[in-house]
Amino acid sequence: MSLQQELTALFSQAFEAEELESSFGAVAVSQRPELADFQCNGALGAAKPAGRNPRDIAAAIVAHVDAPELIDTLDIAGPGFINIHISDKALAGSVSAMSDTERLGVAPIHRPLTVVVDYGGPNMSKALHVGHLRAAIIGESVKRLFSFLGHTTIGDIHMGDWGMPIGQLIVELQDRQPDLPYFDPEYDVAVDGPYPEESPVTLDDLSDMYPVITRRCADDPEVAERARVATFELQNGRAGYLAVWEHFHSVSVAEQTKDFKALGVEFDVWYGESTVNQHLEPMVRTALAGGVGYESDGAVIVDVATPEDKKELPPLLLTRSDGSYLYSTTDLATIEMRVKDMGMDLGLYVVDARQGLHFEQVFRAARKMNILPSDVMVEHIGFGTVNGPDGRPFKTREGGVLRLGDLIALVTEGARARLDEAHIAEDYPDEERDVIARQVGLAALKFGDLSNHRTSNYTFDLERFSAFEGKTGPYLQYSAVRIKSILRRADKQGLKAAEMIPPTVSQERILMLRLVRLSEVVHRAADLRAPNVLAEYSYELATDFSRFYEHCHILNEPDVRRQASWLALVSLTLDVLTKLLDLLGIEIPDRM
Ligand code: ARG
């Protein structure tokens, strides 16, 4: 149990003893650390329903709380806030208990869930670019966070591989290379032999073709119509198109895996829209039979609006009038698959906030269609855009979209320049410097993203992100590396960590108070699906540590008990920082 939980339990009992609702006993970290460590404000809330004076209630509560081991003093402030000062001994005990467990004292969850994290998969045939960054970074962090708390997590890329864009690419390829056997309707594998093994295109080709064909479809209804037909035929199993699809798929997966790997992002399953192809038709049939779906101008739709809606919610389209399926159809069938085959209890869709309407429609339709049982929750975890200095979505200097690989190269170069400037890792072997530059670059990129609340847009500012001072990834990495080096030096001097004793210096006490908050912080980050809560706390922890280290000259401390206790504190700080950075997807170099 964390210190805050222990205090909450104690105060809840006191409220109960006073015949008041126990939930008023909730204890929080003090907003004014100079006045108190923790506080309980329940007397104020309890006053009105009980028809009593809040200060009187607070006094009664204080009288009920008897825990001299845990609490030093309790005082009542203002209209009835209870300020709690905890004892140094209890504080040290609580910090020390954290280091005994692998979970670092983070409270276990009551009910482990199977959580599917869908991190906004890119469309097939697209090279990853800056627009794919946030889903990957935020999704990976959310997944790590839930799995650290003890949930079973499944990261699914949900590749966009079955919709209109694929039909469009088929048309574009046909126009560029009309003689390929895939387009010959007469081609018969049994007679003419298998389709060629080699892909007619690379992912680069496909990425180039993408904007061209999107433009063409927008400009020319005839081309758009061909793309629609190609999509329909693909979805209905036209052999040549399926064979092209296989090529698109394999070149995409190969390249995208590389890019994601470079970013430290790994999916457990590489499913896509096409995975549920077999389920689309029966799902639509069931919806029609049950009356939830109905025909309208040849299309099949599901009404999702309710009388309470403030904004008008258009119906969801299950099939187009030609019978082809849409993004929503595959998303619905995917929910069905995740519930039935993966045992999903909670689905987190880490996808651009601009898809909010889509998910609102899909989730509502899923409930109506009985695909989503009432005990399974799904949420759209939306995020904002990465902007350039002009406040518009980030572009390269030439106005193009920056490829993910180029972006990683860019941040790595930025990090290398900063390392040189600060004379960090100067005399290390080249290979090691390369690894460090890359790790620092990625930390700059990821922390620059994750330190913002996911729903805000932010400006990509490499200069600021890669600084070694301030609230940045490199600063945190550097802090962790410095702690590693302190511990290495202590080890060389033959010093060993031992039992944690009550703090004697204010900076030490502050650091301890920061550490004991870990459990609440991690749970809060998960509850809010907000990695920035972890980012903020990591930064505070690193600065508290730095102040502590400035005041406490650990390696020269003459009092050996104190010194050994400090070493235990240093080592726990490193473990906590390492865990937090890992949850943010940030690696720590061994030295730098
Ligand atoms: N492929 C989609 C896109 O590029 C994102 C997929 C998000 N996940 C989902 N289940 N719809 O916009």
Per-residue pLDDT of the chain (592 residues; tens, 9 = 90+): 899 999 999 999 999 999 999 999 999 999 899 999 999 999 999 999 999 999 999 999 999 999 999 999 999 999 999 999 999 999 999 999 999 888 999 998 999 999 999 998 899 988 899 989 999 999 999 999 999 999 999 999 999 999 999 999 999 999 999 999 999 999 999 999 999 999 999 999 998 999 999 999 999 999 999 999 999 999 999 999 999 999 999 999 999 999 999 999 999 999 999 999 999 999 999 999 999 999 999 999 999 999 999 999 999 999 999 899 999 999 999 999 999 999 999 999 999 999 999 999 999 999 999 999 999 999 999 999 999 988 888 888 787 888 999 999 999 999 999 999 999 999 999 999 999 999 999 999 999 999 999 999 999 999 999 999 999 999 999 999 999 999 999 999 999 999 999 999 999 999 999 999 999 999 999 999 999 999 999 999 999 999 999 999 999 999 999 999 999 999 999 999 999 999 999 999 999 9
| Nearest residue to 132 (alpha-carbon basis) of 165, 169, 162, 157 | 157
Helix residue spans in 403-472 (DSSP H): 404-421, 430-450, 462-465
Side-chain half-sphere CA neighbours of 323 within 13 A: 10
| Interatomic CA distance for residues 422 and 425, integer angstroms | 9
CA of 356 from ligand 1 middle (Å) equals: 11
Q: Whose CA is nearest to atom 8 of ligand 1?
A: 120
Which fold is adopted by the domain 3-86?
Gyrase A; domain 2 (3.30.1360)
Residues of the chain with CATH 1.10.730.10: 404-583
For domain 114-159+270-383, the CATH superfamily is HUPs (3.40.50.620)
Nearest CA to 81 among 157, 150, 27? Answer: 27
How does DSSP classify residue 325? B
From 335, 339, 355, the mutation candidate for ligand 1 (largest count of ligand atoms within 8 A of CB) is 355
| CA 535/CA 451 separation, integer angstroms | 5
Query: Which one of 158, 273, 330, 336 would you pick to mutate in the ligand 1 pocket, going by the greatest count of ligand atoms within 8 A of its CB?
Result: 158
pTM score, whole prediction: 0.95
* Residue appearing with tokens 């406040």: 391
CA-nearest residue for atom 7, ligand 1, is: 120
Q: Where in the chain is the domain with CATH 3.40.50.620?
A: 114-159+270-383
CB-based contact 348:381 (threshold 8 Å) = yes
132-136-142 Cα angle (round to 5)? 145
> Minimal CA–CA distance to 355: which of 154, 131, 524?
131
Which residue type does 412 have? T
Give the residue whose CA is nearest to atom 1 of ligand 1.
Answer: 160
Is the CB–ligand 1 distance for residue 140 below 6 Å?
A: no
Check pocket membership of 123 for ligand 1, CB cut-off 6 A: yes
Q: Considering only CA atoms, give the Rg of the chain.
A: 29
Distance 122 CA to ligand 1 centre (A): 7
**Residues 415, 437: contact at Cβ < 8 Å?**
yes
Question: Atom of ligand 1 at shortest distance to CA of 126?
Answer: 4
SS3 371: coil
CA of 3 to the centre of ligand 1 (A): 42
Superfamily of domain 404-583: Isoleucyl-tRNA Synthetase; Domain 1 (1.10.730.10)
